[in-house]
Amino acid sequence: MSTNYYPKGSSRGGSEMGDSEMGSAFELQKWPSYYSSQASMTYSHRSFYSTYTPSHASTFLPIVQQAPDKLKKPDDNFGLACCSIAINPIFGIIAVLLAEISRGYFNRCNYIKASKYGAYAKATAAGGIFCTIFLLACIISQLLWYHLKFSY
């Protein structure tokens, strides 16, 4: 038994010829309320809206996203990473990338990984600063030793 959901006199009202399995663009239009109420209770291969039944109501639940808690925000050490760019650009850029990864994990409410990557950013920035200071100290000591070596 076939139920006709089209208004009387429409070009789609009586013919089964030329109907596709998925329906046409005409069939995918929004129906007035008296058509959609009928379509929600019965099944027809002709209408896109007829596939909805009350048992499918659970698929239309709202999407709820958890916002990050500002009180649990671990330190991402972004300031230290930016300062280390001026002192040692190689380590500084890596530290900035790690700080950004830490912020990304915080925004996804993954506080443990955010804390880890914040600590990695701090260690990378501090390591870059330490390496630069150590290298400068070695260069200065070599220059002083060379200069004092020939001072009699």
Element (H, E) at 129: helix 111-149
pLDDT values of the chain reduced to their tens digit, one per residue, 152 residues: 556 555 665 555 554 544 445 555 555 555 555 545 554 555 555 555 555 555 555 556 666 677 878 888 888 899 999 999 999 999 999 999 999 999 999 999 888 999 999 999 999 999 999 999 999 999 999 999 988 887 76
Q: Find, among 119, 38, 127, 59, the residue nearest to 87 by Cα.
A: 127
Beta strands in the chain (DSSP E): none
pLDDT for residue 46: 54
Tokens of residue 96, six digits:
């900035």
Question: Is residue 11 classed exposed, middle or buried when 0-12, 13-18 and 19+ CB atoms within 10 A define those classes?
Answer: exposed
- Taking the CB of residue 16, how many other CB atoms lie within 10 A of it? 7
Q: Find, among 35, 33, 113, the residue nearest to 72 by Cα.
A: 113
Max Cα distance, the chain (Å)? 116
At CA 123, angle to CA 120 and CA 128, rounded to 5? 125
pLDDT for residue 131: 96
